[in-house]
Amino acid sequence: MNRWTSRWRTLLGLLFTAVMLFPGYWMVNVSLTRDHDMRRQPPMLFPVDPTFDGYRAVLKQQLPYLGTSLLIGLGTVALTIVLAAPAGYALAKLRPRGGGLLSFVLLAAQMIPGIIMAMGFYAIYLNLGLLNAWPGLILADSTIAVPFAVLVFAAFMSGIPEDLLQAAYTDGAGTLRTFWSIVLPISRNAIVTVSLFAFLWAWSDFVFASTLDSGGRLRPITLGIYQYIGNNNQQWNAIMATAVVASIPAAVMLVVAQRYVTAGVTTGAIKD
Amino acid sequence: MVVYLAAFYAYPLYRNVDLSVRHYTVRSFVQGDAPFSGLDNYREVFDDPTFGPALGHTALFTVASLVFQFAAGLALAVFFNRHFRLSATLRALFLVPWLLPLIVSASTWSWMLNSDSGIVNAALSMFGVGPVNWLTSPDWSLVSVIIANVWIGIPFNLVVLYSGLQAIPGELYEAAALDGATGWQQFWRMTFPLLRPVSAITLLLGLVYTLKVFDIIWIMTRGGPVDSSTTFATWSYRLGFGNLVPQFGRGAAVGNLLILLAMALSLLYIRTQRKQRRP
Amino acid sequence: MTLLRTGRRVLGATLISLAVTAGTTACSSSDAPGDGSSGGSSYTIWDPYPQYDDGSAWVQLLTKCGTDAGVSIKRTAYDTSDLTNKALLAAQQGNSPDVLIVDNPVVSTLAEAGVLTTTQENKLDVSAISPNLIAAGTIGGKSYGVPIGANTLALYYNKAVLRAAGVDIGSVKDWASLTAALGKVIAAGKKGITFSGIGTEEGSFQFLPWFWGSGADLRKLDSPEAVASLRLWTDWLKQGYAPNSVINNTQTTSWQEFATGEYAFAENGTWQLGNAKKAGFEYGIIPVPGRDGGTAAAPTGGEFVSIPVQKATGRYDTSKKLVQCLTNTENSYTTVSTLNYVAPTSAVQDKQVAANPELKVWVEAVKAAKGRTSDELGTRYPKISEPLWTAVQGALSGSKSPADALAAAQATAAAATK
């Protein structure tokens, strides 16, 4: 490729990214703005007179919430994979009766608005005593990701060459063993994909958290943010500071993880 | 798996259907003796003056969000498919909107679109365009929530479509280039058709997710002013939770209609996809 | 599904490269201490004050009340708008909290649903409570809880802004003089008035002083008086006396606008006193004026402490001790000071004014205030309030004229309260 086009592309890419990330920048800007400057007209483009009150508040109050969110995110990922990988495999390879129907039901399950699910959960949890506890929230959050995950696993695993599995069976491995030592390792990339989605969904969930865990000792970060949008006060710099603190590690990891994408693509190309 | 499905999807759904066919007052909700009322709730919902606008807004919100998300996602995916300096880093940064909790991104947007002290109006006024009441005018509120939703949806479309593009072998392009095809022709004759299965799943999932978008609209406008950005999702929530006295029955009825709508649309979509594939 | 099956090959490859964050989730861990053990008997309290965290004086007060009663307290704070539904759902599942603190206009709704016990049943003494405050929790002669404290609305004004515009606050006596004052302020290059017209109960709450101040009655939303009050707000918006943002303003965001120091007036409540001191400019407070002078009745705000119906009736005794601890004349002062409220009894109100003369105007305002569910509206109030705030939204956003908006509201309200 011509060097000039490349340079133009970089420039254009930077421009696009700038536009796309402007709301993100704005968030940072607000997080540093003093309360009484918040509603300045016109707004200040740069935090001329920055305050770190927001960040102080976050570091003092929000770290436990971040931990909880992490715990719930990871828990959801684990539960989703444990549930979805075998189900996907069953759908793709063992072809149970009614498999097609099941796929449709899974798709349909994704259509139920979160608030309806949350209402149902609330009633169940109230009786089970799972309210305001993180395991309940993990269970609830997994319902967002599981249908999607099953579909992804099914799509992926049906691409695993049949002879590979046959070979395993011939070697005397049972279904379970084949699944564990052949199918799962091959599906590593699907697992990573599903994990990513499950984590992101659990991380940003608000409806379930507010319905099922708003009074718990361990609350996720979305509720931590909500706390600043209280009845009588909205500490915007603290809200935005929390959001910034919460997304920085994730954003850094995204950038670092770029090489895994390339690696993933190569594996895919070889397999195809 | 079946147990999981039954316990965690079927039960809430069953409850919701049950709610929607009973006549609930606040008292009977608590005491659990609400009389069966058949489809009365649905009839009331159909007769409600909010029904027409809500249906229209749901359709407009969904179609506009899908079209712009997909178009932007695809354009960016094609753009990033060529390697250039920083391309990988920039692409990763595009995912940032996805990492933000919806409550934060929606709040940020409502901040930016604030009539009086929002940055958007400040920028517009530099070009001499008068202040637009993005969130408080019935003419603009739906546009505003669509803009925010498109912004949030672009990363998903970009990621999936980009990965689809990566799966198309590079030799195909080399061959096409040898045949003298222009970039534009390559895109329409090769990229687009080859990308169809991925596009299909992206749009289908997009449809399902967009129909039930709730948080963004609720945080930015609460469906207002005067229903001007009310969709089925927010209407259902408002009936069931948003008022001093909850109307569980009707809220549930609207929710069920939304699910039915989603199912009908996806069936229709899957069917047309299937037809198109067989020439 | 065939769609998935055929699209599988490209899709499969696609998914591989979706593996953006292979390393993301593996490297972090967090410790999760288990739920705190609740030894002995534990009593649950639900309140609508999420802004107070565990270190706050409010929670310390609750804990102390628990200790005094010999039990441990499990306190859960919900957002006001969520609390009603949570309470109803919990009651449906037979799992109500022992003590429920809930916004006053929903007390009648919860009572009608059979969720709350009456003060006759639980033997709580409400005789000292001001009649206009207990009214919100009284249905058919029975009261269903004790007001924990009261608040109401008035107009805050910025002294510097008024001085610069040459407005004497003493001249602001009715709607006409207020509007004239706003005109002067705008002419002087400052901003007029901010309030909250959001499409929720907050919007109705803020509109009511003007609605009542015109002589209108909630039982007839489309009266000429009512139209006049809505036209007042709408005209302010049209003339730029009030910012367009009031349509989406909560009382909090409205306060933040006032706190910029640019606005002459803000309609807000007792609870902002603490923030007002921090705002960094001189402020004053006047009651909301009536249309032709005098003081408009503002709605009472504030919560009721109530004891929900329990299967285990033996729990009532302790619950009663907890409620008394929060509301008894001796303790009430602590509670209302903690919450920035005005006390519900005149004895404690006097004590508050003695300690802080600034509260005098608020105590007067609370005495003149009117319960939203009064006028025998009771459970009909919520069904009237929703059409009302919808009408306010319609008129402010310019999609309907004030008269049309209120006519539609009256039709809706009449149908809902039939």
Q: What pLDDT is stored for residue C322 in this prediction?
A: 93
CB B157 within 8 A of CB B74: yes
| Residue A166 pLDDT level (bands cut at 50, 70, 90) | confident
State what percent of residues in chain B have pLDDT above 70: 95
Q: Which residues of C99-124 are buried (b: 16+ CB within 10 A; e: fewer)?
A: bbbbbbbbbbbbbbbebbbbbeebeb
What average pLDDT does this structure show over A249-268? 51
Q: Is C305 helix (H, G, I), strand (E, B) or coil?
A: strand
Tell me which residue in C5, C24, C262 faces A257 most closely, judged by beta carbons.
C24
Cα distances (Å, whole numbers) of residue C31 to A65, A167, A218, C35: 12, 43, 11, 12
Q: Would you tell me which CATH number, out of the four given (1.10.287.70, 3.40.640.10, 1.10.3720.10, 3.40.50.280), belongs to the domain B2-277?
A: 1.10.3720.10
Question: Who contacts B157 (Cβ-Cβ below 8 Å, separation ≥6)?
Answer: B69, B70, B72, B73, B74, B77, B202, B206
Q: What pLDDT is stored for residue A232 in this prediction?
A: 53
Residue C29 lies in a domain: no
Give dist(CA B228, CA B238) in Å, integer. Answer: 14
Domain boundaries, chain A: 1-51, 52-271
**Cα B145–Cα B151–Cα B152 angle in degrees, nearest 5:** 90
Give dist(CA B255, CA B211) in Å, integer. Answer: 11
pLDDT at A115 over 80: no
C100 and C189 both lie in a single domain: no
Q: What pLDDT is stored for residue C218 in this prediction?
A: 93
Per the listing, tokens 């002419």 go with: C187
C130 and C216 both lie in a single domain: no
Q: Which domain holds residue C213?
A: 153-300+376-416
Cα distances (Å, whole numbers) of residue A117 to A83, A140, A199, C92: 19, 8, 19, 17
Of C340, C366, C390, which residue constitutes the final position of a domain?
A: C340
State what percent of residues in chain A have pLDDT above 70: 79
Give dist(CA B221, CA B240) in Å, integer. Answer: 17
Q: Does A71 contact C at CB distance below 8 Å?
A: yes
Question: Who contacts C218 (Cβ-Cβ below 8 Å, separation ≥6)?
Answer: C211, C375, C377, C381, C384, C388
**Cα of B205 to nearest chain C Cα, Å:** 12
Give dist(CA A238, CA A62) in Å, integer. Answer: 10
**Cα of B277 to nearest chain C Cα, Å:** 10
Residue C11 lies in a domain: no
**Cα of A213 to nearest chain B Cα, Å:** 16
C271 and C312 both lie in a single domain: no
Q: Does A136 contact C at CB distance below 8 Å?
A: no
Give dist(CA B82, CA B127) in Å, integer. Answer: 35
Instruction: Please report residues of C whose CB lies closer than 8 A to that of A234.
Output: 250, 252-253, 256
CA nearest B162 in C: which residue?
C14
Orientation angle between helical segments B51-81 and B141-166, nearest 10 degrees: 40
> HSE on the CB side for B265, CA within 13 Å?
20
B161-210 tens-digit pLDDT? 887 787 777 777 778 878 877 778 888 887 888 888 778 878 888 888 88
Q: Does C310 contact B at CB distance below 8 Å?
A: no
Q: What pLDDT is stored for residue A269 in this prediction?
A: 34
* Phi-psi domain of B196 (left: phi exceeds 0; alpha: psi -120 through 50; beta: other): alpha
CA nearest B81 in A: which residue?
A9
Question: Who contacts A228 (Cβ-Cβ below 8 Å, separation ≥6)?
Answer: A234, A235, A236, A238, A239, A242
CA nearest C2 in B: which residue?
B274
- Is B241 in contact with C4 (Cβ distance < 8 A)? no
The ipTM value here is: 0.79
Of C316, C340, C364, which residue constitutes the final position of a domain?
A: C340
Tell me which residue in B80, B108, B205 faces A26 most closely, judged by beta carbons.
B108
What average pLDDT does this structure show over B83-108? 78
Position A20, amino acid: M
C116 and C243 both lie in a single domain: no
Domain boundaries, chain B: 2-277
C311 and C257 both lie in a single domain: no
> HSE on the CB side for C308, CA within 13 Å?
30
| Residue A271 pLDDT level (bands cut at 50, 70, 90) | very low
C293 and C320 both lie in a single domain: no
Best probe of the C interface among B27, B226, B230, B236, by most C CBs < 10 A, is: B226
Q: Does C346 contact A at CB distance below 8 Å?
A: no
Per-residue pLDDT tens, chain C, 418 aa: give them.
Answer: 333 333 333 444 443 333 332 222 233 333 333 333 333 588 999 998 877 777 788 899 999 999 999 999 988 888 777 788 788 888 887 888 999 999 888 888 888 888 999 988 888 888 888 888 888 888 888 899 999 999 899 999 999 999 999 999 999 999 999 999 999 999 999 999 999 998 888 899 999 999 999 999 999 999 999 999 999 999 999 999 999 889 988 888 898 889 888 899 999 988 888 788 888 889 999 999 999 988 899 999 889 999 999 888 888 999 999 999 998 887 889 888 888 889 999 999 999 999 988 888 889 889 888 888 877 788 888 889 989 999 999 999 988 999 999 999 999 999 888 7
- How many other CB atoms sit within 10 Å of the CB of residue A236? 22
SS (H, E, C) chain B: CHHHHHHHHHHHHHHHHHHHCECCCHHHHHHCCCCECCCHHHHHHHHCCCHHHHHHHHHHHHHHHHHHHHHHHHHHHHHHHCCCCCHHHHHHHCCHHHHCCHHHHHHHHHHHCCCCCCHHHHHHHHCCCCCCCCCCCCCCHHHHHHHHHHHHHHHHHHHHHHHHHHCCCHHHHHHHHHCCCCHHHHHHHHHHHHCHHHHHHHHHHHHHHHHCCCHHHHHHCCCCCCCCCCCHHHHHHHHHHHCCCCCHHHHHHHHHHHHHHHHHHHHHHHHHHHHHHCC
CB C137 within 8 A of CB C304: yes
C181 and C293 both lie in a single domain: yes
Residue C333 lies in a domain: yes
- What tokens were used for C61? 């007060």
Give dist(CA B90, CA B47) in Å, integer. Answer: 50
Q: Does A97 contact C at CB distance below 8 Å?
A: no
Give dist(CA C234, CA C392) in Å, integer. Answer: 9
Residue C60 lies in a domain: yes
Best probe of the B interface among C237, C247, C252, C396, by most B CBs < 10 A, is: C247
State what percent of residues in chain A have pLDDT above 90: 2
Tell me which residue in C30, C36, C95 faces A217 most closely, judged by beta carbons.
C36
Q: Sheet containing C146-147: which strands, arranged edge to edge?
A: C72-77, C42-47, C99-103, C303-306, C146-147
Q: Which of A69-73, A259-263, B128-132, B146-150 has the lowest mean pLDDT?
A: A259-263
CATH 1.10.3720.10, applies to A52-271: yes
Beta strands in C69-190 (DSSP E): 72-77, 99-103, 138-139, 142-143, 146-147, 153-158
C104 and C240 both lie in a single domain: no
CB B198 within 8 A of CB B161: yes
C191 and C132 both lie in a single domain: no
Position B146, amino acid: I
Q: Is C15 helix (H, G, I), strand (E, B) or coil?
A: helix
What CATH number is given to the structural domain containing C216? 3.40.190.10
B110-122 tens-digit pLDDT? 888 887 778 888 8
Q: Does B116 contact C at CB distance below 8 Å?
A: yes
| Residue A96 pLDDT level (bands cut at 50, 70, 90) | low
Instruction: Please report residues of A whose CB lies closer than 8 A to that of C18.
Output: 189, 192-193, 196, 264
Q: Does B107 contact C at CB distance below 8 Å?
A: no
Residue C2 lies in a domain: no
- How many other CB atoms sit within 10 Å of the CB of residue B271? 11
Nearest to C49 by CA among C267, C340, C257, C298: C340
Give dist(CA C59, CA C72) in Å, integer. Answer: 12
Q: Does B276 contact C at CB distance below 8 Å?
A: no
Question: Who contacts C379 (Cβ-Cβ below 8 Å, separation ≥6)?
Answer: B26, B245, C108, C109, C112, C139, C373
A102 or C168, higher pLDDT: C168
CB A175 within 8 A of CB A253: no
Nearest to A35 by CA among C257, B176, B118: C257
C311 and C200 both lie in a single domain: no
Residue C21 lies in a domain: no
B43-76 tens-digit pLDDT? 888 888 889 899 999 999 999 999 999 999 999 8
Whether residue B12 has a cis bond before it, omega within 30° of 0: no
Residue C12 lies in a domain: no
Best probe of the C interface among A116, A231, A239, A252, by most C CBs < 10 A, is: A231
Instruction: Please report residues of B whose CB lies closer than 8 A to that of C393.
Output: 224-226
- Is C14 in contact with B131 (Cβ distance < 8 A)? no
- Is C22 in contact with A40 (Cβ distance < 8 A)? no
- Is A260 in contact with C77 (Cβ distance < 8 A)? no
Q: In this structure, what DSSP letter does residue C153 have?
A: E
Looking at the 3D structure of chain C, how many domains does it have? 2
| Residue B86 pLDDT level (bands cut at 50, 70, 90) | confident
Give dist(CA B151, CA B154) in Å, integer. Answer: 6
Q: Which chains touch C (3 or more CB pairs under 8 A)?
A: A, B
Q: Which chains touch A (3 or more CB pairs under 8 A)?
A: B, C
Give dist(CA C174, CA C184) in Å, integer. Answer: 16
Best probe of the A interface among C24, C76, C83, C283, by most A CBs < 10 A, is: C24
Q: Does C20 contact B at CB distance below 8 Å?
A: yes
Q: Is C267 helix (H, G, I), strand (E, B) or coil?
A: strand
- Is A231 in contact with C18 (Cβ distance < 8 A)? no
Q: Does A237 contact C at CB distance below 8 Å?
A: no
Give dist(CA C97, CA C46) in Å, integer. Answer: 7
Report the Cα–Cα distance between both ends of chain A, in Å, rounded: 26
